[in-house]
Structure 1
Amino acid sequence: MARYKGKYLIGAIGPITLRLTKKGVIGSIRVKDVKQTEATKRSANFFGKVVSFAGLLRANLQSLGQQDSGLMNRLNKEMMAVFQQCYDKQTGVFNFSNNYFSRLNGIDLNADSALKENLWPLPSVTLRENQLTVGISDLNIAENLKFPDGATHCKLQVLPLQFDLAGGHYRRMEMRSLLVKRNDLPLQVQDFLVEVVPGTVCVIGLGLHYYKEDNGIFVMLNKPDFSPSVLIHAGFNDGTFSETLTESVRIAYADGSESIKIITTWAGGHAGF
């Protein structure tokens, strides 16, 4: 309903809304309410879940290096393609027992510094009987790993993440790392083993952190436009997720008393699919 404010008429008159601004009264036509169909609602819900999951993944990968501003759009696009392939429109059910998540392999978290331009070949990843092996093959430092000017050391960071897609839970696992010197001899094969829970998607990220050593002090040389990190593996481990989400730990004190502490082992992070 419109009303007078001083000498000005403001408010709603039919489809027109009058607002008082510094330049006087401005009128605008209200847009009619848009009625969503069931298909539109499902599509919006689908998009929201995928974007939420992609955001959770990006947040957990930040420790590998600084991400560029375009990563959100790149990852959302690829993630939408993956989940659309996994979704059966007829039944409304997701099927993750496939290799569609491999589409994420090779996505750089910082497009300004592609990791493969600094380390090649990339580590191999194999999954067998709920155990994932990240293998760094014989590495000739001079030929396979590039160092920026002034860098004396490089730390290879391997971060495993596991996601229960149905229930919306996830687990960030221990970061594995390997420190190499610029003038090191060729490295022998290094394997990192990761226990993968059935019924989860396991994502492995790899980042390179460069340092300059000066009298025992390590100064990181990574910066916003040079922070190589990449997804080297994304895949579903067949089975049904049946893990307990918390653990109870008994704590004993010097005075003889005890208490129970509940530790969350699988945190809630997204809406689930």
Structure 2
Amino acid sequence: MIKFEPISNGKFWSGTDWSITDEDELARLIARVAIGQYRHVLKVLNETDCIAYAPTRNALEGAIRALTAENVEQPWHRDGWLFQVISWIAANIQNPESLKSPPHMIHANKGFDGLHICLDETDENVVSVVICEEKATDGPRGKITSQVWPEFKSLEAGSRDNELVSETTTLLAQNDHLDPDKAVHEILWKRARAYRVSITIGDKERSQDGRKALFKGYKKITPGDVVGKRRAETFHQSNLRDWMSRMANKALDAAKEMEAENV
């Protein structure tokens, strides 16, 4: 469904480049998220037994809103939400063991795009808290320098630590952590804080040199050991908006089929 190729730039950053191998299956998973069944998607990805529940009429209407651009000439919010869902799916395939915040259910959510928590082998202590920025854009370098780097710099300075502590505690509690308050209190935040930027790229950024230029400044903004500290994920599409529109329509069709199968 999604194929991953390693990419890196020495001590500066490391990650993967994504390519879609099965658009129809991806669309079905996106549809499940859109109707509010993200837990079903997790079970599918983990290959555990799960019952495919049909969406209610209201859930289907909500999915239609999520997958539809209010202005077809300016589909930025719809495409941004869609890419966040794809990034969440990709992260669960790449690292199923880490805890992850559920996908947002509204366009242009003001919180963190995503939050991942990696625990040690005892599942009691937090090793890292990964803050995600996920951008679907036709101008990736400009988006990184104008939005992603300033946000990461602010987070490194601790300006949103209250939000980070709150969301980390909530995510641990939702996953039945023994003592989420104690775990959060004992986190060495400077050492544990890590970053993951997922971004769409065009032909210009597809080469090694193109990616080096794209993520220039990452280490300066978020200094420290590269191991797990600075993740860089790229997804190439020459005609991004056309592809996003096609995937949204496929997911819409899949959601409607789920309802029709159970009428």
**Between Structure 1 and Structure 2, which shows a larger proportion of helix residues?**
2
Higher relative contact order (CA 8 A, sep 6+): 2
TM-score (norm 1): 0.27
TM-score (norm 2): 0.28
